[in-house]
Structures are given as structure tokens and as C-alpha cells.
Amino acid sequence: MATLEANRRSFLSACAKLGVGGTLLPGLLWGRALEAQAAGQALQVTPALIEELSNVAGLRISAAERDRMVSGLRQQMRSLEAIRKVPLRNWDPPSLVFDPVLPTMTFPSEKRPVRMSPAPPVRAPKDLEDVAFYTVRQLAELVRTRRVSSLALTQMYLERLRRYDPLLHFVITYTEERALAQAKEADRDIAAGRYRGPLHGIPWGAKDLYAVKGYRTTWGAQPYEHQMIDHDATVVKRLDAAGAVLIAKLTLGALAQGDVWFGGFTRNPWKPSEGSSGSSAGPASATSAGCVGFSLGTETEGSISSPSTVCGVTGLRPTFGRVDRSGAMTLSWSQDKAGPICRCVEDAMLVLHAIYGPERDDPKADRTVLDVPLNWNAQTPLRSIRVGYVADAFREETEPLPARGGRGAGGFFGGGRAMTPEQRKAFAARRAEQAKFDQAVLEALRGMGVTLHPVTLPPAPPFASYGPAVNCEAAAAFSGLIASGRARLMEPPVKNSSDWPSIFRVAHLYPAVDYLNADRIRLELMYQMEAMFRPYDVVVVPTSGPQLAITNLTGHPACIVPNGFRASDGTPTSITFLGKLCGEEKLCLLARAYQNRTGFHLRHPDVDKELAALKS
């Protein structure tokens, strides 16, 4: 490895001496080498070739400079071939580590016990399916008091998964044997007085990018359909320790984008003719349909927020670095975040409490994990929370703001392209409807005695929405997929499905200099967000819009909860509560209070009606 690294530095040095090391030229040169190899030829590095490629890269190199480069590039092309033969797994991290914490920030160090809300009153159900939509807190009381066994609960949820999967397509692999063993163990432990806490005996589902020993981990993509990883992800081990019962590995859009996977199209329980959004497609759909007690998803940019919104459930995207990602598929080392999808806010905090924090005994643990306590106290008074709201984001726009191009609100009409009159009219109508729901949130909060202060969100950077931090890192994480040719197995099966192979290929041409300059802009954005948050604990903002790209870049936590249902088709909408870095406690206190005040989370889709329609 040391020799390869020396060769890599030597190769780039040959380019850097003439100011081309951080440009497209080395990548283009290597691409030509691969083309020649495929044709059974050796690439001949000549001044004419360097001139051609430098023109593509936008470089000005004199004839004399090109002549001096030839011998060095011929000598060093062999080093790239050696480097690319080194086997790297998707999850092998780079040496550089993204840290959202700025030098001026401090955090509490005292770790205090969890203080939950008072235990909800529950009775043994006549029909076990009556509890299918219960919260974790309610299910936990049934299991703790032995009114319902974990085994019976597990069997009930497994049956529901099988019943509704033909409609919603949210399961990739059932972990039934493992689940039944865990449930029986939970019942024995609880009967013997060894109760582990509110997740003990509760069935849950994992997004199928988390490794589970003995079961395939497909990442939702055909090239990995039969992949077996011989260890458990850290979050799986921690939920095992909490006594939770894993019953299924749930769908995700291929390689964590969208809701289309190699087996089909995951659907929204509220409107099965439409997708559940993604990429945490299966976790959101299964939780919404009452087929798991809770689920675990991930977000790089919208993959918890969007499906939680579409499926009308509660999503908690923690601070970047709150949760160890070991054993999870890597898309972006500097933006991936693991988080719960539940039926209510307190459930999400209880799940987060079970999985957060560093893995101290594992030398190969996720190096990004923050060692900051998570002190959930459901009884903290709201008056202690300082709240802002992004005033401009609550306006009724007639067309998307420029910053909303890409996969935020502007993505509704395909990014920042100019809209047709019909599209502009449709956007205005949809935004006007959404604005009423969003304004109602502010009115509800004021009615709860919350003082709201207007704040201004920093402008989104020019590369926001799947910029270099995602695309380039993802291209590196999946470089082996492109090199092997297996990316061809990801041909889009339906319209609007993921096209990662094309994105990966384009990212190989992103100049290193521009990647680093984008990262410098990102740091400035982090300072701007820190200044905005300095007077406040929580900021309220509509879920769509530039905040999604901005806060995923800066690593801030978010809680997404339902805030109404559209009159046109009955589908849910959502509002987002943002928090300071490692500020999930106060963020979720306010979100929970709003949720309890409005009760939107208590409404559930009529999946049986939709299933009957499918069968007829």
C-alpha cells in the first residue's frame, strides 16, 4: 500500500508541476488508457494526446510544456493501474473525516438517565391487530406488563407484512427465524424480571443497507441482489442489545436513491398508485401501514425527510455523527446519517437513544461519531426552548425560488428549468395549498404559548442538492461497480428510476480543485448556520425547499412530522423542526408538543380498502 501511495503521489506530482494535478486531465488520461485496454491496445501518451485532453479540461499548456510532460506521464500511468487493482470495499473510509462541530461550539458532558413521558394506559386487546398502529410507548407497556407477548406481536407484524407487501412492495428479506428466536428470548427475560427498556420485545424493520449476518444485504440494487456480509451493522447490534426484534429488511431505492429497487416500486399506503418516495422507502411505507413497531432509515439528502412526509410518519434525522454507520452502505462519507422512522416523536428519541454514540471497543468503528450525551427528558417545560422560524419560507411563491432547483421543492418540476405556464399554475396551486398547512403550524405553536422569532436561512451554495460531497464520494465508494461493468445491471426498470451509473461516471470528471473549493464554501455555510442558530434552540421551516440541502451539508438534525392532509386526495403533508448540532432533545420536545396538540400522527391509512381494490 505504501508503494502504491508513493506511486499515486508521483503520478499526480508529474501533473501538478505544470498546474494540472487538480484538474480533469489525470482522470481523462486514465479514461483513455481504459479505452485502449478494452480495445486490446496500449495507450500511447503523446504531445498531441495531451493537447487534446487539456483542451477538454479547459487548460492552456504550451508545446514545450507538453513535451516535458510526456516522459513523466508515460512512466506514471502504470501507477494508476496498480492503484485501481487494490480491492476497496464500499465502506472503507478515506483518511479525511468530516466534522460538523466548529471550534467555537461546546456541548454538555454529563450523561443523565432517560425520562420518558408517563406510561400510557393500555389494555389487553381482544384482537391483536388492534394494536398494529400503536406507538412504541404503548406497545412497550403491553409487553412490559405481559398483556401481550413479544412472540405474538412479532407474529402479528410478520403476517401484516406478508399481507400488504403485494400492494406496497416494502420487503426485500424476512428475518423470521432470527425474529422468532429474539421474541422468545424477550418473553423469557421479561418473565424473569430482566426487562431492558422500552424497545424490549418490539418488532422493527431495517432499511436493507444495514448488514445483518446470515441474511443478504442488497442495497436495493441488482448488482448486489445476493450480497452476504458476514457481520451485523453497529445499529443492529445495539438494537439487539436493547431487546428489539428485527423482523424484516425493508426496501430502499437502488443504492439509496428514490423508491425503485431491483424487485419493483415501493408504494405509499395513503395512495398506492404513487410511490412512497425514498430512499428509505420501505421503512416509511411499512411504518405507515402498521407493519412494524418502528424502522430505521438513513438520509444523505432527503431520504428520511421525503418518505416520512409522503407516508405521514415521524422521521428523525440526527446530527451528522450521532450514530455509528459501521456495517451500513456508504453513499457519502461526509453526509450519510442513520435515523429512526416512527409513529411519534418520543418513539424516535427512544430509538435514537438506543443507537447513538461511539463504539469504544471497536478499532474500526466509524470515526465520525460524536461523543456527546443524549439526555431525553420528556417532561422539560417548553418555556425553556427558544424558537425561530424561517419567515421567507412560509410565503406563497408562484414559482420555485432559484435555490430550490434540484431535489427540493423545485424538483417537483424537474429542477431549476424554466416552467411552462401550465407547470407554473400547478406549482402555484400546490404551494398555496401547502402554505395553508404551514401557516397553521405557526398559529398552533403560538396558541401553545411559543414565541416565534423570524430568522433568515443562509443562501444555498451553488452546488447544493447532490453536489460534490455526495456525487464524488459516491463515485469513489462505488468505483469498483463501474470498473467491473456490473453497473449495466442497473438499467432503469421504470421511468424516473435511479441512474447512479451515469452520475458516477460524470463524477469521475469532477476536478479535484473544484471539489476542495466546494468544501471551503461548505465550511463558510457551516459558520453562517451557527450564527443563525446562536440565539435559538429550534427553527421551524417547511420541509421542502433549500433548507433540506443546506442542513444536510452542515449536519444539523431535523424532525419531520405530519401537519395535515390534502383535501384533493387525502395524502399527508409535513413540517420540519430543525435543531442545533447535537440539539435533538429540545428539537424533539417542541416537535412532540406540536404533535400532541394537533394529533395528525394518530390518523392512519386504510390499507385494507386499498388491498381489496387491488384484489378486485
- The whole-number pLDDT of residue 426 equals 80
β-strand partners of 337: 299
d(CA 289, CA 251): 14
β-strand partners of 339: 297
At the top level of CATH, the class of 129-379 is: alpha beta
Asked if 317 and 584 count as a contact pair (C-beta separation under 8 A), the reply is: no
Give, in order, the Cα–Cα distances in Å from 51 to each of 6, 10, 57, 60, 245: 27, 21, 10, 9, 61
d(CA 279, CA 500): 13
The single-letter DSSP state of residue 418 is P
Give, in order, the Cα–Cα distances in Å from 52 to each of 46, 64, 324, 512: 10, 15, 46, 20
d(CA 593, CA 287): 21
Cβ contacts of 84 within 8 Å, gap of 6 or more: 479, 483
Give, in order, the Cα–Cα distances in Å from 91 to each of 88, 160, 364, 369, 478: 8, 33, 11, 15, 10
- The whole-number pLDDT of residue 520 equals 93
- The whole-number pLDDT of residue 286 equals 98
Dihedral sign of CA atoms 167, 170, 172, 178 in order: negative
- The whole-number pLDDT of residue 60 equals 75
- The whole-number pLDDT of residue 9 equals 43
Give, in order, the Cα–Cα distances in Å from 570 to each of 169, 282, 429: 21, 21, 16
Low-confidence stretches of the chain (pLDDT beneath 70):
1-40, 42-43, 53, 56-59, 69-84, 396-418, 464-465, 491-498
Asked if 170 and 252 count as a contact pair (C-beta separation under 8 A), the reply is: no
User: Grid coordinates representing 216?
Assistant: 443478504
Dihedral sign of CA atoms 124, 130, 132, 137 in order: negative
H-run or E-run covering 261: strand 260-261
User: Grid coordinates representing 380?
Assistant: 422539560
Give, in order, the Cα–Cα distances in Å from 464 to each of 138, 305, 310, 344, 467: 40, 16, 22, 30, 6
Q: Is the pTM of this model over 0.75?
A: yes
Amino acid at 558: A
Nearest 5°: phi and psi at 455? -130, 160
Catalytic residues: 207, 279, 303
Dihedral sign of CA atoms 535, 536, 537, 542 in order: negative
- Cis-peptide into 544, omega within 30 deg: no
- The whole-number pLDDT of residue 337 equals 98
List the beta strands (DSSP E) in 271-350: 271-275, 294-299, 314-317, 337-342
d(CA 450, CA 443): 10
The single-letter DSSP state of residue 121 is P
**Residues of CATH 3.90.1300.10 domain(s) within the chain?**
129-379
Asked if 448 and 439 count as a contact pair (C-beta separation under 8 A), the reply is: no
**Cβ-based neighbour number of residue 350 at 10 Å:** 26
- The whole-number pLDDT of residue 465 equals 66
User: Grid coordinates representing 122?
Assistant: 393500555
Dihedral sign of CA atoms 397, 402, 407, 410 in order: positive
The single-letter DSSP state of residue 319 is P
d(CA 263, CA 287): 20
Indicate the angle between helix axes 468-477 and 512-533, nearest 10 degrees: 130
**Which residues in 190-217 are b (16+ Cβ under 10 Å) and which e?**
beeeebebbbbbbbbbbbbbbbbeebbb
Asked if 326 and 364 count as a contact pair (C-beta separation under 8 A), the reply is: yes
β-strand pairing of 452-455 with 538-542: unpaired
d(CA 499, CA 487): 10
- The whole-number pLDDT of residue 13 equals 47
Please tell me the number of Cα atoms within 13 Å of 377 on its side-chain side.
10
Give, in order, the Cα–Cα distances in Å from 604 to each of 82, 248, 269, 303, 438: 56, 21, 9, 21, 21
Alpha helices in 363-466 (DSSP H): 421-447
Residue holding cell 453497529?
234
The four Cα atoms 400, 403, 409, 411 give a dihedral, to 10 degrees, of 90
User: Would you call 50 helix, strand, or coil by DSSP?
Assistant: helix
The single-letter DSSP state of residue 340 is E
**Cβ-based neighbour number of residue 492 at 10 Å:** 13
Q: Cα 28 vs. chain centroid, distance in angstroms?
A: 32
- The whole-number pLDDT of residue 296 equals 98
- The whole-number pLDDT of residue 20 equals 46
Q: Select from 352, 376, 336 the least CA-distant residue to 244.
A: 352
d(CA 201, CA 149): 8
Q: Is 479 exposed, middle or buried (0-12, 13-18, 19+ CB in 10 A)?
A: middle
- The whole-number pLDDT of residue 17 equals 46
Q: Select from 286, 41, 309 the least CA-distant residue to 171.
A: 286
